[in-house]
Structure 1
Amino acid sequence: MKKPCATLAIAMLAWFSLFTGDAQAQFPDRPIRIVVPYAPGGSTDIAARLVADALGKSLNTSVIVQNQPGASGNIGAAAVARATPDGYTLLFVGSGIASAPSMKEVPFDLRKDLAPISRVVSSQFSILVNPSLNIHTLQEFLDYARANPSSLNMACSGTLTAAHFALESFRQAAKLDFQTIQFNGNAPAALAMMSGQPPAGIDAAFSAKNAVTAGKLRALAVTGSKRSPSLPGVPTVAEAGIPGFEAGFSLVMFAPGATPKALVDRIHQALVAALKDPAVVQKLEAQGFDLIGSSPADFARELEADIKANEAFITGLRRAGVIQ
């Protein structure tokens, strides 16, 4: 004869399994929220809204983008890590999140608290100056920076973000000495550059396009292996004076860590379907993105490799005194 407690436990487990299975089968039955952990108007925000619209059509539901900036993306990421793992709260973030395990006082465990869904798209950065500097080429900028060691400030979208890694790689490759000023996202960084405080910096090539076209910023070079469709007249850093230089970023998607695999796979399938829509492809490519849509398993492997690579890079920055 079964004990009453054991019988009750079995019954509750059976009910929970039935309930969760039914909930997953009906997914989605309400709007989905995508958290972008940066300020509105930046590269990640722009891409997130394009992806959210397409994902909503693929899943036949509303997908809402919520900006939750701060701490280089870690505030928004922590909010998703704490969210109910039911597929209705997702994170859309820059690949610099792979530095989280190497950062101090990060309120989540990247490997445990977030479930990889996909590396969605990739793109590249641009090196920018305020026109008041009267600098028109990357070589002129290098000459200016070397003639004014330690007095040049450059804007960046946050500590240990992909933009920060690209800017530090640029510093090392060019053998420059400048101060990096960090902002909560690339939109605030771009606004600061347009005001001349600081007069130079880094931003995604496509999100800098409007400011460059309007003459509010000048693009000296892009950081990819080839020119950006967003700034086709701007040479690569390698073309413009630093042979072999290349840096970029990707935008990735996560769910809360305990999200059932079936839900992660369902979201990924819908994402891949969305990324195959010719209209979506055209919109994303027009913004300078290369579409990826990697599987959860592939992204998980790539993420682990990124974590280890970033750890080594961050260790070098700490030894050099660039960061604490």
Structure 2
Amino acid sequence: MFELMKCAAKHKKSRKNGEDMKKLLTIAGLVLLGISSAQGQPLSPEGYPAKPVRIFVPFAPGGATDYIARVIAEKLSTRLGQTFVVENRPGAGGAIGAEAALRSPPDGYTLLIASASYTVNPAVIKLKFDPVEDAQPVVNLVVAPSVFLVSKETPVATLGELVAYAKANPDKLNYATQGTGSITHVTTEAFLASTSTKMVHVPYKGVGPALNALAANEVQVLFTDPGAAQGLAKAGKIKLLAVAGNRRLEQFPEVQTAAEAGLPQLSNYGSWQGMFAPKGTPVAIVDVLNKNVNAILSSPEMVGIIRARFALPVGGTSADFAARVKSDIQRYGDIARRIGIEPQ
């Protein structure tokens, strides 16, 4: 590196060798960029970001998506030297905030961090935007399994026993969701269809009220995020039957996975959070966001933060995330059509 810079300085005095000097300086710059990348330093094209960046979260403050967005915003602010500000835009199951973000100028200064409900919404809501054509996936941040919960009074101790009880008592159990057409509604109906069981749907306005209803035995079944349920589960006020994921939870190592309980088809029903930009955002900006977020997700500190929330860091390329988004939209659409849910 030093020799390259010396050579560039020597040729600076000669107009004849001006082109050689420019080439050498270009090479030197590329080498520096490579060194910066190799050492894990932030990379930024053309000075991006030159002003604060807004990250829209399409839900109210306090939830899992809001939490991960704020942590990522803080880390990006530190790495890139500009403020990344989280703005909550709740409503319509996340559709309002997503539309606002994706209708923004594609300049890298308005981003979206959404959850897996982003891929459920096309099947249940008449959206005013196209979740594939109007969006540029940037990176999948985290994945988190869902868990099967029952009230303390429900006479089952395993997922297999729940299925057997539901088959013997059709429509005797009530199941809670975060609302009609929510991801908890669609995934619970997928569970019922795959096990040939019937339960009565009772929608609530959010996971908090649904958990309270479960603890009070107003409903008997809930399929949701383990982080939200851990307090009641550890206190013995509700029972955790199984994990819809490929591994047991560190916080509840005694609880089986769905596959271990004999229902491997339920292993991939969970949630995720991911970053999007409006379609047309320059590739260089998408790349710098992707690379810096991947660096953040791989840090031991961040891994610990994410695992404490019952989740796992994902990362990967923007193409990886785009493929997942398309696949999930197709999967949840198929489920919704099978159980008769129409976009409203």
TM-score (norm 2): 0.76
Deviation at 1:269, TM superposition (A): 1.8
Matched residue, 1:255: 277
Matched residue, 2:65: 44
Matched residue, 1:13: none
Deviation at 1:161, TM superposition (A): 4.8
Q: In 1, are the aligned partners of 2:232 and 2:238 still within 8 Å (CA)?
A: yes
Q: Alpha-carbon deviations, 1:123-177, whole Å to 9, x = none?
A: 2110112324354333443344334322422122355554444322221222210
Task: Select 1:33's aligned residue among 47, 50, 54.
Answer: 54
Evaluate the alpha carbon distance shift between residue 239 and residue 212 of structure 1 in structure 2; reply closer, same or farther with a 3 A threshold: same
Evaluate the alpha carbon distance shift between residue 135 and residue 317 of structure 1 in structure 2; reply closer, same or farther with a 3 A threshold: same
Map 1:66-81 to 2 at 5 A: 66-81=87-102
1:273 matched to 2:295? The reply is: yes
Q: Secondary structure at the match of 1:133?
A: coil
Deviation at 1:271, TM superposition (A): 0.7
Evaluate the alpha carbon distance shift between residue 198 and residue 48 of structure 1 in structure 2; reply closer, same or farther with a 3 A threshold: farther
Q: Distance in 1 between matches of 2:342 and 2:74?
A: 40
Evaluate the alpha carbon distance shift between residue 152 and residue 283 of structure 1 in structure 2; reply closer, same or farther with a 3 A threshold: same
Q: In 2, are the aligned partners of 1:121 and 1:289 still within 8 Å (CA)?
A: yes
1:264 matched to 2:286? The reply is: yes
Who wins on radius of gyration, i.e. which is larger? 2
Name structure 1 gaps, 5 residues minimum: 1-22
- Of 262-271 and 41-50, deviating more is 41-50
Map 1:42-191 to 2 at 5 A: 42-133=63-154, 135-183=156-204, 185-191=206-212
Matched residue, 2:317: 295
Name structure 2 gaps, 5 residues minimum: 1-43
Q: In 2, are the aligned partners of 1:205 and 1:230 still within 8 Å (CA)?
A: no
Deviation at 1:98, TM superposition (A): 2.4
Matched residue, 2:17: none
Q: Alpha-carbon deviations, 1:258-279, whole Å to 9, x = none?
A: 3222222221122112112211
Q: Distance in 2 between matches of 1:59 and 1:27?
A: 8
Look up the equivalent residue of 2:192 and give its one-letter code: R
Deviation at 1:24, TM superposition (A): 6.8
Moved segments of 4+, more than 6 Å: 321-324
Q: In 2, are the aligned partners of 1:72 and 1:157 still within 8 Å (CA)?
A: no
Evaluate the alpha carbon distance shift between residue 133 and residue 281 of structure 1 in structure 2; reply closer, same or farther with a 3 A threshold: same
Evaluate the alpha carbon distance shift between residue 55 and residue 215 of structure 1 in structure 2; reply closer, same or farther with a 3 A threshold: farther
Look up the equivalent residue of 1:86 and give its one-letter code: D
Q: Secondary structure at the match of 2:280?
A: coil
Q: Distance in 2 between matches of 1:52 and 1:164?
A: 30
Q: Secondary structure at the match of 1:142?
A: helix
Q: Distance in 2 between matches of 1:64 and 1:192?
A: 35
Look up the equivalent residue of 1:223 and give its one-letter code: A
Q: Distance in 2 between matches of 1:185 and 1:271?
A: 29
Matched residue, 2:329: 307
Q: In 1, are the aligned partners of 2:57 and 2:89 still within 8 Å (CA)?
A: yes
1:212 matched to 2:258? The reply is: no
Q: Distance in 2 between matches of 1:29 and 1:183?
A: 43
Q: Distance in 2 between matches of 1:215 and 1:91?
A: 37
Evaluate the alpha carbon distance shift between residue 258 and residue 211 of structure 1 in structure 2; reply closer, same or farther with a 3 A threshold: farther
Q: Distance in 2 between matches of 1:252 and 1:238?
A: 26
Q: In 2, are the aligned partners of 1:69 and 1:184 still within 8 Å (CA)?
A: no
Matched residue, 1:11: none
Q: In 1, are the aligned partners of 2:336 and 2:342 still within 8 Å (CA)?
A: no
Matched residue, 2:222: 201
Query: How many residues are paired up?
Result: 300
The alignment's C-alpha RMSD in Å is: 2.9
Q: Alpha-carbon deviations, 1:161-201, whole Å to 9, x = none?
A: 54444322221222210133344554453344344443421
Q: In 2, are the aligned partners of 1:39 and 1:185 still within 8 Å (CA)?
A: no
Q: In 1, are the aligned partners of 2:126 and 2:343 still within 8 Å (CA)?
A: no
Q: Secondary structure at the match of 1:38?
A: coil
Q: Alpha-carbon deviations, 1:247-291, whole Å to 9, x = none?
A: 333221111223222222221122112112211111112322222
Evaluate the alpha carbon distance shift between residue 28 and residue 229 of structure 1 in structure 2; reply closer, same or farther with a 3 A threshold: same
Q: Distance in 1 between matches of 2:258 and 2:106?
A: 42
